[in-house]
A and B are shown apart, each in its own frame.
Chain A
Amino acid sequence: MSAQVSYNDFVIKFANVNGSGSASANGMFAKALFRMGIPVATRNIFPSNIQGLPTWFEVRVSERGYLGRREGVDVMVAMNAETYEEDVASVVPGGYLFYDNSKPLARELVRNDIVEVGIPISEMLLPEFQDPKQRQLFKNITYLGALSALLNLDFDVLKSMIGEQYKGKDALIKPNIHALEIGRNYAMEYLDCPLRVQVRPSDAVGDRIMINGNSAAALGCIYGGATVCAWYPITPSTSLVEAFERYANQLRLDENGRRKFAVVQAEDELAAIGMVIGAAWNGARSFTATSGPGLSLMSEFLGLAYFAEIPAVLFDVQRAGPSTGMPTRTQQSDLLSAAYASHGDTKQVLLIPATPKECFEFAAAALDLADRLQTPVIVLSDLELGMDDSLSEPFVWDDERRYDRGKVYTAEDLDELESYGRYRDIDGDGIGYRTYPGTHPTKGSFFTRGTSRDENAKYTESPDAYIANMRRLERKWQTAAGLVPVPEISRSEPARAYGIIYYGTTEHPMREALDRLAEDGIHLDTMRIRAFPFSQAVFEFVTEHELVFVVEQNRDGQMETLLVSEGRLDSAQLIGVRYFGGLSISADIIAREIRDYFVENKLARISEVTS
């Protein structure tokens, strides 16, 4: 084993039992590194369960800012006997196994190629704390204390975080600090501190913040002017609505403490989207948040909103399907069901954020776009983006910005009109002028329906009127393609032979994967898709490359399908790189699959061409 010390570059994984209070201790660990200026990304790999099942918390520590998942664990904090075997196996050769050695490690678990770091946590805590529940909670703090010495964490940062955590419950601060010190002192006295793998203060974080996408999206809804939120609890979207309510209770009260918002927990997802549509029809900005099963339930209503042209904003924080699937694991597998949600010729606008900052921005943009396009807008997040804390550029809001409420006639507008028809395409962009209920005593009222109507909103079953209406909706779709966020393209001039397409959280491991491929002489032009409908630039990126890899976190290559069918592209040009095991796709998988493809198909690498 090499004795070389590495700084700020490792994966540490905590294996715990859920419901044992480990989450806050593990969160503190990650936050302490972040406060030392070191880039970190967290991944909470948790069961669909309240108490007693295995749960893991992974922290990627990377001075270079690689925030995606990387295979292999450098430091395993194995605190769950039930998963010992797989936890020990996941440590990379030369890595560390940190465990409670109050009881000896079973022989069959001993590996010669890793370093065992045993600390008698239970034994040390037994005389210190009488209450067994407290003892269990302080176990987590004690290993945190030991890790601070082993990995060289700034102890003052850690202590100050205990102070923050228990602000107002001062009686808890002292015993927590004591538990921290028990662990730290033992490590200092009996172990060789720090380890080869360790941290040191850095300035690599810059002014970035550490936040999850659900909180970010909730803030985007606050800033974007959403006033009505209706929802039904479902992992992993629940925390989005809870964050919205929390922030609204701070930021949206009038001087008498009355609320400038309404949050309704509906009886199911059907009711949730129904409320959103009812509120939007009546002129309020409204949204819901759900996940795959909820999206399925909302589909009928999404068809109504598409056809009746009612704005609605829906956050789909994707999890692993089909059916209940793996409710607490991440995937990008709702793409097709969201894009074509509902029966008939229905298409839905999708925004696909990759970072918390984009969650914030796309949430506010979705509210504008829904009003502008008078149609549902679905923001496709995923569990990893929504629930895991990650580094993000700070959020920015321009105080000059005005909400785009789209084409809405006021009473004054109506007074000046000779006649009004809800679905007339006056501007040629496929979008008519709305009126809100109650606007004018005699003008501008109309009947909104999911059945066919003419351009004056009058019921008709005339084939011509029906076709004209569907064609207009198609024109509106083209308008949408010009308004949604453009793809992020990085392309050399002239274009390279090969490109790569990705979207959403695949952004995180992508830079690392591209760097590794470049070391191997494989250079790719890149495009991150951020919305549907696709703009022309998306299709051009495909056609100007010989071969394009499409990286996705689903089995069936849903983005690939969408690209081929919407752009009438040659499917042979697209090569899928997919991972759908419920963890986020790693840099290792992306780099390995692409390298293998190059080797198997004898594609020329740049290094070979130039040498």
Chain B
Amino acid sequence: MSFISKPVVHHPQLGHNDLGLTRRDYEGPISTLCAGCGHDSVSAAIVQACAELSIPPHRFAKVSGIGCSSKTPSYFLGNSHGLNSVHGRMPSVTTGANLANRSLHCIGISGDGDTASIGLGQFAHIVRRRVNMLYIVDNNGTYGLTKGQFSATNDKGSTNKKGLPNLHEPIDLVSMALQIGATFVARSFSGDKRQLVPLIRAGLLHEGFAFIDVVSPCVAFNNHAGSTKSYEYVRGHRDDVVMADFVPTHEEITADYAPGEREDVLMPDGSTLRLRKLEETYDPRDRTKALNYVHDKTLQGEVVTGLLYIDPDASDCHAMLNTVAEPLNSLGEAELCPGSEALDAINASFR
């Protein structure tokens, strides 16, 4: 944990985005998490992705639950409002925030305890409800703040710091999201910014619910030999499926990646999502195959990362609810109050 405050001087070589802003404009106050925590890498990836998308830094709404992961929204996008809610309930609060103002980009940050245990119900239902948001789980398989209890995503047989094994089957959030009908499902690793940043950008621009399960090792309680969520283990057992290279229409970036088989997916805002298949057979638009693939690889002890599934024609809950285009929180008396004449008619209908 660090107690120094961040210097405000910009590095002269920091790049500017289309708004003329640098990455620093998207940062927040300094993190109080443990040095080397994977969650901080996720926050840094969010900062980079948001800056690259050139979305004004105050046009995000950050919501979280309780736990180490849920502390992180105060460490990025310092010019945006954030709400650190109650344990496991980030999805419902984000749903409300999105209902109130659909013009903001909602980012929900949760952890494996917050989502896979106490919040499993809300997770399932926000997937069904298709709230237009990016839902990130900083998944470290442990309860850090309460000192290292197993979480529900922890693999069976994985040991804790005292060497005791986990006896329970893990909950795989990615498979669950696929099963309930999520329209954007990805998994990544906090230590792989090259994969994670494009996934975050794509998730933010996805029209509807976007889920990224980020394996993010806990340096304090779940980074030892015997843990299947440690840096060592994950780096040794990864299986990348699809690189998602997000290309906004006004700026074509294609040079950063090695050539390979690619597929372009048209996004609702007119931009293109470029998918790179690392395996010839993988089609990220096939939900059933995605489920089978994740299942097979899990049996082989491998962590599938990348964009596992996307429905490019997805829509969100506002489309389902048929709400007006302007944010509901911007409507006043003139739009909302039917007036006394209408009330007289209502009174008459009760006579």
Chain A residues within CB distance 8 Å of chain B: 35, 209-211, 219, 222-223, 225, 227-228, 230, 247, 251-252, 254, 257-264, 266-268, 270-284, 286, 300-301, 304, 308, 394-399, 401-403, 435-442, 445-451, 459
Cβ of B328 and Cβ of A450 under 8 Å apart?
no
| Binding-face segment, B42-50, B53-61, B275-283 | B53-61
Q: A259-B321, A442-B58 are in contact. Are A227 and B100 (CB under 8 A)?
A: yes
- Nearest Cβ on chain B to A200's Cβ, whole angstroms: 19
Instruction: Check: B166 CB closer than 8 A to any chain A CB.
Output: no
**Beta-carbon nearest neighbor of B342 in chain A:** A251
Identify which of residues 73-123 in chain B touch chain A, using a CB-to-CB cut-off of 8 Å.
73-74, 78-86, 89, 91-101, 103-104, 121-122
Chain B interfacial residues counted at CB < 8 A:
61
B329: A residues at CB distance < 8 A: 227, 279, 282-284, 436
Complex Cα distance, B350 from A35, in Å, reads: 10
Cβ of A219 and Cβ of B346 under 8 Å apart?
yes
Complex Cα distance, B125 from A416, in Å, reads: 43
Q: A260-B331, A395-B343 are in contact. Are A270 and B81 (CB under 8 A)?
A: no
Q: A228-B328, A397-B340, A441-B56 are in contact. Are A435 and B81 (CB under 8 A)?
A: yes
Cβ of A258 and Cβ of B101 under 8 Å apart?
no
B335: A residues at CB distance < 8 A: 260
- Nearest Cβ on chain A to B319's Cβ, whole angstroms: 11
B347: A residues at CB distance < 8 A: 209, 394-395
Name the 5 nearest CB pairs between A and B, nearest first: A278-B96, A274-B92, A284-B100, A437-B81, A283-B329
**Beta-carbon nearest neighbor of A257 in chain B:** B322
Cβ of A397 and Cβ of B339 under 8 Å apart?
yes
**Beta-carbon nearest neighbor of A448 in chain B:** B83
A282: B residues at CB distance < 8 A: 61, 96-97, 100-101, 104, 329
Contact of A264 among B97, B99, B101 (CB under 8 A): B99
Cβ of A260 and Cβ of B340 under 8 Å apart?
no
B346: A residues at CB distance < 8 A: 219, 247, 395
Q: A258-B325, A259-B322 are in contact. Are A281 and B89 (CB under 8 A)?
A: no
Q: A438-B104, A448-B84 are in contact. Are A278 and B63 (CB under 8 A)?
A: yes
Cβ of A284 and Cβ of B328 under 8 Å apart?
yes
Complex Cα distance, B94 from A398, in Å, reads: 35
B258: A residues at CB distance < 8 A: none
Contact of B58 among A225, A280, A401, A439 (CB under 8 A): A439
Cβ of B79 and Cβ of A445 under 8 Å apart?
yes
**14 additional contacts (CB under 8 A) given A262-B328, A278-B63, A447-B74:** A259-B324, A262-B323, A264-B95, A270-B92, A272-B92, A275-B95, A277-B93, A280-B100, A282-B100, A284-B329, A300-B86, A437-B81, A445-B78, A446-B81
- Nearest Cβ on chain B to A346's Cβ, whole angstroms: 13
B33-52 vs A, CB cutoff 8 Å, 1 = contact: the mask equals: 00000000000000000000
Q: In this complex, which of A223, A252, A282, A308 has the most chain B Cβ atoms within 10 angstroms of its Cβ?
A: A282
**Beta-carbon nearest neighbor of B349 in chain A:** A209
Complex Cα distance, B100 from A308, in Å, reads: 18
B125: A residues at CB distance < 8 A: 266-267, 271
Contact of A440 among B58, B91, B95, B338 (CB under 8 A): B58
| Interchain residue pairs with CB less than 8 A apart (16) | A225-B337, A230-B99, A254-B324, A258-B322, A264-B95, A264-B129, A266-B92, A271-B95, A274-B96, A275-B95, A278-B92, A279-B328, A284-B101, A395-B346, A402-B333, A448-B84
- Nearest Cβ on chain A to B64's Cβ, whole angstroms: 9
Cβ of A286 and Cβ of B96 under 8 Å apart?
yes
Contact of B101 among A271, A272, A437, A446 (CB under 8 A): A437
Q: A271-B92, A439-B58 are in contact. Are A403 and B104 (CB under 8 A)?
A: no
- Nearest Cβ on chain A to B343's Cβ, whole angstroms: 5
A254: B residues at CB distance < 8 A: 324
Q: A395-B347, A438-B104 are in contact. Are A301 and B89 (CB under 8 A)?
A: yes
Complex Cα distance, B86 from A273, in Å, reads: 11
Cβ of B82 and Cβ of A228 under 8 Å apart?
no
Instruction: Check: B332 CB closer than 8 A to any chain A CB.
Output: yes
A445: B residues at CB distance < 8 A: 58, 78-81
**Beta-carbon nearest neighbor of B61 in chain A:** A437
**Beta-carbon nearest neighbor of B105 in chain A:** A438
Cβ of A304 and Cβ of B86 under 8 Å apart?
yes
Cβ of A438 and Cβ of B57 under 8 Å apart?
no
Complex Cα distance, B85 from A299, in Å, reads: 13
Cβ of A225 and Cβ of B333 under 8 Å apart?
yes
A230: B residues at CB distance < 8 A: 92, 95-96, 99
Cβ of B328 and Cβ of A260 under 8 Å apart?
yes
Instruction: Check: B9 CB closer than 8 A to any chain A CB.
Output: no
- Nearest Cβ on chain B to A35's Cβ, whole angstroms: 8
Cβ of A301 and Cβ of B86 under 8 Å apart?
yes
- Nearest Cβ on chain A to B154's Cβ, whole angstroms: 25
**Beta-carbon nearest neighbor of B124 in chain A:** A267
Instruction: Check: B351 CB closer than 8 A to any chain A CB.
Output: yes
Cβ of B340 and Cβ of A279 under 8 Å apart?
no
Complex Cα distance, B92 from A300, in Å, reads: 14
- Nearest Cβ on chain A to B88's Cβ, whole angstroms: 9
Cβ of B328 and Cβ of A438 under 8 Å apart?
no
A447: B residues at CB distance < 8 A: 73-74, 81-84
Identify which of residues 306-346 in chain B touch chain A, using a CB-to-CB cut-off of 8 Å.
317-318, 321-325, 328-329, 331-333, 335-340, 342-344, 346
Cβ of B97 and Cβ of A279 under 8 Å apart?
yes
Q: A211-B350, A266-B125, A397-B343 are in contact. Are A286 and B84 (CB under 8 A)?
A: no
Cβ of A449 and Cβ of B84 under 8 Å apart?
yes
Complex Cα distance, B322 from A286, in Å, reads: 18
Complex Cα distance, B136 from A383, in Å, reads: 42
- Nearest Cβ on chain B to A415's Cβ, whole angstroms: 14
B73: A residues at CB distance < 8 A: 447
Q: A225-B336, A260-B324, A441-B56 are in contact. Are A271 and B350 (CB under 8 A)?
A: no
Complex Cα distance, B58 from A258, in Å, reads: 28
Complex Cα distance, B189 from A313, in Å, reads: 41
- Nearest Cβ on chain B to A417's Cβ, whole angstroms: 16
Q: A304-B85, A445-B81 are in contact. Are A278 and B97 (CB under 8 A)?
A: yes
Identify which of residues 137-155 in chain B touch chain A, using a CB-to-CB cut-off of 8 Å.
none
B81: A residues at CB distance < 8 A: 281, 435-438, 445-448
Complex Cα distance, B317 from A279, in Å, reads: 14
- Nearest Cβ on chain B to A22's Cβ, whole angstroms: 22
Cβ of B85 and Cβ of A450 under 8 Å apart?
yes
- Nearest Cβ on chain B to A276's Cβ, whole angstroms: 6
Cβ of B333 and Cβ of A403 under 8 Å apart?
yes
Cβ of B95 and Cβ of A438 under 8 Å apart?
no
Cβ of A441 and Cβ of B96 under 8 Å apart?
no
Complex Cα distance, B335 from A276, in Å, reads: 20
Cβ of A276 and Cβ of B96 under 8 Å apart?
yes
Complex Cα distance, B339 from A102, in Å, reads: 54
Complex Cα distance, B340 from A396, in Å, reads: 7
Contact of B85 among A252, A257, A277 (CB under 8 A): A277
**Beta-carbon nearest neighbor of B121 in chain A:** A267
B97: A residues at CB distance < 8 A: 278-279, 281-282, 437
A437: B residues at CB distance < 8 A: 61, 80-81, 97, 101, 104
A263: B residues at CB distance < 8 A: 321
- Nearest Cβ on chain A to B324's Cβ, whole angstroms: 5
A286: B residues at CB distance < 8 A: 96, 99-100
- Nearest Cβ on chain B to A335's Cβ, whole angstroms: 24
**Beta-carbon nearest neighbor of B63 in chain A:** A278
Cβ of A262 and Cβ of B99 under 8 Å apart?
yes
Complex Cα distance, B320 from A264, in Å, reads: 11
Complex Cα distance, B340 from A398, in Å, reads: 7
**Beta-carbon nearest neighbor of A281 in chain B:** B83
Complex Cα distance, B7 from A515, in Å, reads: 77
Contact of B96 among A211, A219, A228, A449 (CB under 8 A): A228
- Nearest Cβ on chain B to A393's Cβ, whole angstroms: 10
Q: In this complex, which of A209, A252, A278, A398 has the most chain B Cβ atoms within 10 angstroms of its Cβ?
A: A278
**Beta-carbon nearest neighbor of A449 in chain B:** B84
Complex Cα distance, B130 from A575, in Å, reads: 55
B80: A residues at CB distance < 8 A: 437-438, 445
